[in-house]
A and B are shown apart, each in its own frame.
Chain A
Amino acid sequence: MKDTELAAAIAIALAKKRNRSEIGADELLLGCLQVISRFGVVQMGSWTFDLEELGVDWLDNPERSEAKVAYSPLAVDLFDRAARIATADGSSRIRVSHLLAGFANEDEGLMGELKRSHGITSASWRAAVARAWSARFGKDMSDPQEDGSEAGDLGDYLTPEEAAKALSIHVQTVRAYVRSGKLPALRLAGERAIRIRRTDLDTVLEPLVPQT
């Protein structure tokens, strides 16, 4: 099962457990967060989300229920938005990262609460999702490869083009960062080609809102 299908299955189970007739945005967000959680905790950027505090028993193995639940109109919108983000990201599949990025403009429900309680803005949320995926898979938000295997195939050292893609900026901007010293880079011995450590990409990112 792909990550998005797992997130959807968790969202459906949550909606059933809550006796809802529809799978809402809150359930979908919690499904995504649970997929990327470890021991019930999600670490995204400088934010830590405890699933238990969000009302999710992450160790719970819900009993099979025959209650019928349908996607809500808002959940449909979020899938549509995620599909557009996936296309922009060059991915043929909708991933959990695309769904999470799709929540950036939501100001209602659970996402609205998280925004208010953690000082999250649309841009800082998208940046945190991108950073989390970049750190996890070393490339764009499409994470697992199309064949389902784990990515990370770009390795630890990126070409300027790969770094530009990871940061969603133009390659000339990456070269300018390197020239100015803002982005550390290495030169291949005896060659003009340069490589950028994946772990150094964060040096050109800064939060729009000071994090406390």
Chain B
Amino acid sequence: MAYFVVQRDLPGVTPEILKSAGMRAKTCCSEMTDEGQSVRWIRSFFLPETAQTHCYFEAASRDTVEEANNRARIPFTHITEVVEMTPDSV
């Protein structure tokens, strides 16, 4: 499994729209995992200054992450594989 960041530009987004998108992402990931395509939404960060969000997913492939976001109908600009680094890992 790999980690991916999904970048979104969401000008004018409200906390409620983010909450709604989160619920849709969660339920679509759960459904796809039940179908055999394991994908997990890990967490998201909202950048108020740029109205962007960075959403982190764990999945076998980029395509799986893209499909989860499409099913949840959440717009995105880029999906990029990332390497995890934590204070404990260095």
Contacts and interface: CB of A to CB of B under 8 A. Distances in A.
Interface of A: 4-5, 8-9, 12, 64-66, 68-73, 75-76, 79-80, 82-84, 86-87, 94
Given A9-B31, A12-B31, A79 B20 contact: yes
Interface residues of B, number: 21
Nearest to B69: A70
A174 B16 CA distance: 30
Interface of B: 15-17, 19-21, 23-24, 26-28, 30-31, 34-36, 67, 70-73
A69 B35 CA distance: 11
Nearest to B15: A87
A86 B27 contact: no
B73 A73 contact: yes
Contacts of A86: 16, 19
Contacts of A76: 20, 24, 73
A70 B70 contact: yes
B15 A5 contact: no
Contacts of A8: 23-24, 27
A69 B71 contact: yes
A96 to B, nearest CB: 11
19 contacts: A4-B23, A8-B27, A9-B27, A64-B34, A64-B35, A65-B35, A66-B35, A66-B36, A69-B71, A70-B70, A70-B73, A71-B71, A72-B73, A79-B21, A82-B20, A83-B20, A86-B19, A87-B16, A94-B20
Nearest to A88: B16
B27 A12 contact: yes
Contacts of A68: 67, 71
A4 B36 CA distance: 22
Nearest to A78: B20
Contacts of B26: 5
A84 B72 CA distance: 18
A208 to B, nearest CB: 27
A5 B24 CA distance: 9
Contacts of A4: 23
B30 A5 contact: yes
B17 to A, nearest CB: 6
Contacts of B30: 5, 9
A79 B73 CA distance: 12
A82 B17 CA distance: 10
Contacts of B28: 70-71
The 7 A-B residue pairs whose C-beta atoms are closest, nearest first, are A83-B16, A8-B27, A79-B20, A70-B71, A83-B20, A83-B19, A80-B20
